[in-house]
Structure 1
Amino acid sequence: MDGSPTDRVAAAVRARIDTGDLGPGDRAPSVRELVADHGVAMSTAARALGRLREEGLLRTTPRVGSVVAGRSEPPASDRPPDAAGLVRTAIGIADDEGLAALSMRRLAGAFGVPTMSLYRLVRSRDELLLAMIEAVFAELVLPPAGGSWRDRVEGAAHAQWRVHRRHPWLARVLSLSRPQALPSLLRFADFELAALEEVVADPVERFDVHLALTAFVRGMALTLAAEQEAQADTGVDADTWSAHDPGLRAALHRHGGPALRRVGDYPYDLQRVLDTGIARFLDGIS
């Protein structure tokens, strides 16, 4: 089949719609499914789905993803989006396909309305991103306030990590140097700082500790997001890659010192690394 990888993936999905294999209302293959089926990059699969949405063959349903559009779709004026629905749909697109796939035009297509009509709900994409951050961080469940300082801080760090795991794009839009003054983020900071008051007397040092721990969890979330993208692009997880990559093994054999050799076959596990890092961080505070 001729054409670019995007053309080929779009044509394959289009053919399934034309033959009736995918009917109106059926869920279309996700980006990750297309990556696995066609051996293309995640960005290629996302562009193919975007093209089919522009052609009117697919539409986006909140919390479901792309579905095959029916011929009897209600007109846009019968189902205008509200602000909450807009944010939920934007989060669903970012969760499934990444922030690169999120645009006001894409959202307008999901609701079947003109792009400019969305600007009565949010003034810009940046404002939409702030609303998305607030919505997903509001999901964060903090530990009981009556526990020990360590239980509260450790519980808050793991709660932050769970939100990042559900929403891999989040780590890329949060900022420590230019923090977003959102209610849910301020609530999280106040909870952690109140727990740290029991062990760190100096307020500047206390805030330093809070930022350092938050940055560690966010950094691990960035690693997770990058690994998910690499796995989607290659179909190979980190453990498999490190076990079979000849370049890595050759470099370790040639340049690795005795300390590296004593580690042996390292069983990579990002969750274990996170747990170890948080525990050792809190040991240091203790």
Structure 2
Amino acid sequence: MAESTEPPYVRIAAELSRRIADRELAPGDKVPSTRQVAQEFGVALATATKALDVLRAEGLVITRPRSGTVVAPRRAAKGGEAAELTRERLLAEAIEIADGEGLEAVSMRAVASRCGVAPMSLYRFVEDKDELVAAMADTVYGSAPFDRDPGAPWRSQVESLARELWRLHRAHPWLGRTQPLTRPLPLPNIIRLGDRLLGALEELGLPPKLLMDVHVLLFSHIVGLAGNFEAEDEAASETGLSSEEWTDLQYLPRTGDSAFMVDVPHFAKLFGELGALPGGYDLDLDGLFELGLGLLLDGVEALAARLKTARPDA
């Protein structure tokens, strides 16, 4: 019998797929780790990694932050028949993949597998992955009302809109990657949000260019901070360490080095042996969002007042 010419990672992926199909590995079960796969099949870690990547691409497994890789849930309607494929269902499955595994895990094959259809079926609704991602982002932005009360003070309007946008990006950290600052997509729902924000700021009477700059700064503050949730989830999954554990390992040797701390006296006042923060500094992204929002709005308000004083007839 001729020996198989398939690469080892393909054979391993096929065997793991069989176990999933036969329910030896049921939905929600942890999938063997890269090291366990390497040991079981007698291959290098890189080969085991490629095999697991095949399963991810096919939507058979998902990686959950801090939980590891598990068998993906099966999607079926009552009676065991596949539910009808619609644009709404396609986008819902794609968003769920992005929320659980990150934007890189979203592929036409992975989404099709979750929907129980052939990949070509998706092209009835989206032209390619770029269009899919844009539609995902617009759907998420459209899921929040972003209500604005024109009769409320400008600051409370802006705070309400900003906090709603923060909650959205916190829940879907991949969202900001679809809207880079220099090349944002003209999504209908993000433009509607921008229009509400501009309307809330209008009361300040800022020059048009400055008005748009403030709008961009507020959006950037939210997106930039929220992106750290996704980065931290990825880092925690890769290292097995929380951000606090990683920071302690990296920084305690520095702050405990008295010779080094002599050269950084301001740092020493905070983190040295007799520093003001003996327990260290705990990063709080929610707290930083609120602090940054307050500082931004304080600055905008002061700037608007200065401009009004300089142009009393305005």
TM-score normalised to structure 1 length: 0.76
Distance 1:116 1:18, change over 3 A: closer
Q: Which of 284, 290, 304 lines up with 1:275 in the alignment?
A: 290
Give deviations 1:216-249, integer Å, cap 9, x for gaps: 1111122222112111222222222222335554
Alpha-carbon separation, structure 2, partners of 1:100 and 1:201: 40
Equivalent pairs, count: 261
Matches for 1:69-218 after TM superposition, within 5 Å: 79-145=83-149, 146-218=151-223
For structure 2, the residue ranges without an aligned partner over 5 or more in a row are: 1-7, 38-44, 63-70, 272-279, 302-314
C-alpha deviation, 1:96, in angstroms: 0.6
Q: Which of 237, 240, 243 lines up with 1:235 in the alignment?
A: 240
Give deviations 1:40-84, integer Å, cap 9, x for gaps: x9xx88962752784x9x489xxxx812689xx956xx6441111
Match of 2:309 in 1: none
SS at match of 1:273: helix
Query: Is the CA contact (8 Å cut-off) linking 2:102 and 2:174 kept in structure 1?
Result: yes
Matches for 1:239-250 after TM superposition, within 5 Å: 239-245=244-250, 246=252, 248-249=254-255
Q: CA RMSD, aligned part only?
A: 3.7
Matches for 1:18-57 after TM superposition, within 5 Å: 20=24, 22-23=25-26, 26-29=27-30, 48=52, 50-51=54-55, 54=58
Alpha-carbon separation, structure 2, partners of 1:252 and 1:283: 39
Alpha-carbon separation, structure 1, partners of 2:298 and 2:156: 12
Does 164-173 or 242-251 show the bigger shift? Answer: 242-251
SS at match of 1:197: helix
What percentage of residue pairs aligned between the two structures are identical?
A: 32
Match of 2:73 in 1: 67
Does residue 262 of structure 2 align to residue 258 of structure 1?
no
Alpha-carbon separation, structure 2, partners of 1:230 and 1:252: 30
Distance 1:267 1:114, change over 3 A: closer
Query: Is the CA contact (8 Å cut-off) linking 1:153 and 1:195 kept in structure 2?
Result: yes
RCO higher in structure (CA 8 A, sep ≥6): 1
Give deviations 1:195-216, integer Å, cap 9, x for gaps: 1111242111010011011111
Give deviations 1:94-116, integer Å, cap 9, x for gaps: 11111111111112222232212
SS at match of 1:178: coil
Structure whose CA Rg is larger: 2
C-alpha deviation, 1:128, in angstroms: 0.7
C-alpha deviation, 1:28, in angstroms: 4.0
Distance 1:252 1:79, change over 3 A: farther
Query: Is the CA contact (8 Å cut-off) linking 1:27 and 1:67 kept in structure 2?
Result: yes
Alpha-carbon separation, structure 1, partners of 2:258 and 2:20: 47
